[in-house]
Structure 1
Amino acid sequence: MIKIKKMLDISGQFLFILAVLVVTYVFAMFQGGQVSWVIFYSLLPFVLYSAMLFLYPLSGVTVKRSIRAMNIQNGGKFQVSLTVRRNSRFPLLYTVVTEKWEEDETALLAGEQRKKMFLFGFRKEMEWHYEIEQLPRGEHVLQGVVIEVSDFFGWLRKTKMIEARDTILVFPKMIDLHYVPFDTQYDRGTLASLLNIVKDTTMATGVRGYQPGDRVTWIHWKSFARTQTLMTKEFEDRRSQEVLLLLDGRVSTVFEEQVEFTASILKEASSHQAELALVTTGLDSSLFPFIHSEEQLHQALVHLAKIKPTAEDKTAPLVDFSTEFQHGGGIVLITAKPDWLLMQSVLRNAKNARSIICFVVVKENEQIDRAMENDIQLARSKGVLVHILGKERFKEAFQEVAG
């Protein structure tokens, strides 16, 4: 239907041009005189060019896009180069090239930078660069490029959409946390560390078959040399606690800060070889039960890059993660609304959890209202360690809790 409409539009424009030529010719024939014929012959080249442009196929036009970085962090600079090529030297005058974004918000952010007018002339290739400052977190899709050519007076306009799909993923901005261990259980006794959960790699207790995600340093090379089968060393687990990060996906004024804090903890915890899991609430609650390898960490960060806040009335029930804590573990909850509904869901799933820490993210210097104070007191009465902090104190969050 759209193609038929486009064909009718351009056909109508071409008929208008022919009508102009016929009218000027009839005028010259009946009026006579030098002036009327000058008008006719002056318009003739422009009409002939418009006719040739009508027959000129845009199918020979191609676009190549080059993006400097496909994955950037929130607030980063997006830089792209576009090269427009064609396979003939037919003279083109006004050629407008426009990047087409899937999201209107991103198109508005790019503004006029995403549009460029060329005077091709007889050239076969043109190139231009543009950039978007502070691209927001999320998945941004470039659908393609719209090419529009026009004649001298804009009587005839031809448009073609060239498919060139690219997806740009903007990750949450991750902060280097100053981690201080606190409140974790060993198999024997109580020692300090919530996230620094490692295996005792100095004591191998056996070997097993290799599984995706196993570290290269754990491979038993002597066994591989004998059997040509990859085997992995098994170590004594010196710590029995696991860590689950729980992100409250309900809409809030500090949702971006919550996502950034969650991503920063994930990055820091993984660098300490923690036994990690991630749960996010929202329209579709998501669970990442095992984050051991770089690939699994990347999948979790991709989810955090794409996640969008959900209105409270549309929030799905909290996904069941009780099976992840059969042997006990610690929970780190990141929220802006520590209400009883959320806490009740967490406590119901975390019966075997050894500790629950709730970070309440607020705007810097924001006053806590009475309702939130009551919610915090109720959570503390249930054994939840609650800590209020703004973005400026993310780096020292664990130091303050440990203190």
Structure 2
Amino acid sequence: MHHIFWAILILFLVAALLRMDWIYYLVYVVGGVWVFSHWWIRRILSRLRVERRLPRYAFANEHLTAQVVVQNPVWLPLPWLQVQEAVPLELKNQAEYRTVFTIGGHSVLEHSYPLYCRRRGYYTVGPLTLRTSDLFGFVEARWEEQKAANLIVYPQIVPLSKLGLPSRSPFGGLATRQQMLEDPARMSGVRVYMNGDSLRRIHWKATAHEDTLLVKKFQPSKEVPVAILLDLDREAYPIRSRVGSSEWAISIAASIANAIIGQRQPVGLITNGSDPLAGKAGANITLHGGQEHLTTILSLLARIQMHTTESNLAAWMPAQVASLPWGTTLVVVTPQLDEPALWVLHSVSRRGSNVVVLVCARQRDFRSIQGYGRQLGVDVHSTIWDRDLVEMAEA
């Protein structure tokens, strides 16, 4: 732009010195075109209305189509307009996200481009950049979007049958266990003490009045809450399969949460992973039900990352599970399990919780740990699927 200005000024000086009329005409024409082009391009670019249409959520391995809508509300056209989108590498489905087109006056132009959600995450799409100029190249203008869009890619959801659990797993039998659990907040009467009853259930006033040991009877519970404890301690995962195993663990947690919400039961999430959006390690989503609650859990699982913790699983768990309601099923997703952690889970089981551990990485002494857990009332299962690990690691 400055080069054109100096060229016009030099031509004007030459015309003044040589007194040549045709140079004056050339100066007037070029100068007029330059001034008009400057006003024309700047005016249209400042009036353009740009909208990006992009879903807020998607799942891993899902293909999306985003759309950019450009509206020109004035009567002046643009000879050419370049639209360039900034797309993260994990979402790219083509080499470049740039296109050039002509937009007329009082017209709307729509441009679509593909996205491929290779892996879960919290991504920023944008900013969008527009470039244009006049027909002669006298004036170039650029516009950049002030606020980019966010896209949350949820973890991959797999059927629970793919986790390798036995057919009589606690997840498959929620409807049956629903009638077996009792709600300690709703007492329905008393009955004679039977061998195996907890001392906490003894109704001392009724026992003293009847001179017979009596325990409280409770109404059946309508809900079977499930708390998912996700271990994302970086040092607990095998170095060779750290990325694949941790992604598989997150997918397991997401799949269980999705299945439990699908059965209209409350679910919660406890993890020692790091949330980049919150800027801290550790997160706890309380027990609740409904699709909105599932969205909250999946959004956290989309962002969560491995974190090097100061304490191991056995030392970290007690404070996390201390406030679980009676009758809660605790599902622990971890890459490895040892005896100290089993004893912690044994104490949780004795407090009235059903405890299930899903080991998502290879462990040499798994069989012995599984047998020891059976003795302590803790169900331990292996959920390793090599094909899935390879797919997630390569994604």
Smaller-chain TM-score bracket:
0.5 to 0.7
Shifted more, 260-269 versus 347-356: the winner is 347-356
CA contact (8 A) 1:338 1:376 kept: no
Q: Does 1:292 align with 2:282?
A: no
**Residues 21 and 44 in structure 1, CA contact (< 8 A), matched pair in contact too:** yes
Amino acid at match of 2:74: S
Which residue, 247, 250, 253 being the options, matches 2:243? 253
Give me the TM-score of the superposition, normalised by structure 1: 0.65
Question: Partner of 2:194 in structure 1?
Answer: none
Corresponding residue for 1:390?
385
Please point out which of 134, 157, 177 is paired with 1:174.
157
- Cα separation, 1, equivalents of 2:3 and 2:91: 34
RMSD: 4.4
| Cross-structure match for 2:259 | 268
1:55 Cα offset (Å): 5.3
Structure 2 SS opposite 1:389: coil
CA deviations 1:103-136 (Å, max 9, x no partner) are x5457666522x3222225453322111212353
Q: Tell me how far 1:33 sits from its aligned partner.
A: 7.9
2:203 aligns with none
Between the aligned partners of 1:153 and 1:256, the Cα distance in structure 2 is 54
**Per-residue deviation, 1:265:** 1.5
1:352 aligns with 2:336: no
| Structure 2 runs not aligned, ≥5 long | 187-217, 235-241, 275-280, 390-395
Deviation, 1:64, is 2.7
Q: In structure 1, which of residues 106, 118, 121 is the aligned counterpart of residue 101 of structure 2?
A: 118
Q: How do residues 184-333 of structure 1 correspond to structure 2 at under 5 angstroms?
A: 195-196=174-175, 199-200=178-179, 236-237=219-220, 243-251=226-234, 252-254=242-244, 255-283=246-274, 284-311=281-308, 320-325=319-324, 327=326, 329-333=328-332
Corresponding residue number in structure 2 for 1:94: 80
Task: Give a deviation string over 1:339-373, Cα, whole Å, max 9, x none.
Answer: 65xx75675476222664433334xxxxx5xxx42
Q: What is the aligned residue count?
A: 332
Q: d(CA) in 2 for partners of 1:35 and 1:346?
A: 96
- For the pair 1:18 / 2:5, whether they are aligned, the reply is yes
Give the 3 Å change call, closer, same or farther, for CA 345–311 of structure 1 in structure 2: same
Contact 1:100-1:107 within 8 A present in 2 as well: no
Q: Specify whether residues 267 and 391 from structure 1 end up closer, same or farther in structure 2 by C-alpha distance, changes over 3 A only.
A: farther
Structure 2 CA distance for partners of 1:206 and 1:333, relative to 1, 3 Å: closer
Q: What's the CA shift string for 1:174-224, capped at 9, x where partnerless?
A: 11222755476xxxxxxx9665565449x99999xxxxxxxxxxxxxxxxx
- Flag the 1:61–1:298 CA change in 2: closer, same or farther, 3 A: same
Q: Deviations over 1:246-281 (max 9, x none)?
A: 212245322222222211112223333445332121
**In 1, are the aligned partners of 2:333 and 2:360 still within 8 Å (CA)?**
yes
Fraction of identical pairs, as percent? 15
Q: Which runs of 5+ in 1 are unaligned?
A: 1-12, 185-191, 208-234, 363-367, 395-403
Q: Does the Cα contact within 8 Å between 1:327 and 1:352 map onto a contact in 2?
A: no
Give how far 1:155 is off: 4.7
| 1:74 CA drift (Å) | 0.9
Letter in 1 for 2:332: L
Structure 2 counterpart of 1:66, from 32, 39, 53: 53
Alpha-carbon separation, structure 2, partners of 1:137 and 1:274: 25
Asked if structure 1 preserves the Cα contact closer than 8 Å seen for 2:174 and 2:224, the reply is: no
Residue 139 of structure 1 corresponds to: 122
2-structure distance, mates of 1:244, 1:269: 10
Alignment correspondent of 2:215: none
Change (3 A) 1:292 1:326: closer
Q: Secondary structure at the match of 1:83?
A: strand
Report how far residue 49 of structure 1 moved: 4.1
* TM-score w.r.t. length of structure 2: 0.66
The answer on whether the counterparts of 1:325 and 1:352 sit within 8 Å (CA) in structure 2 is no
Structure 2 Cα separation of the partners of residues 206 and 334 of structure 1: 30
Letter in 2 for 1:116: T
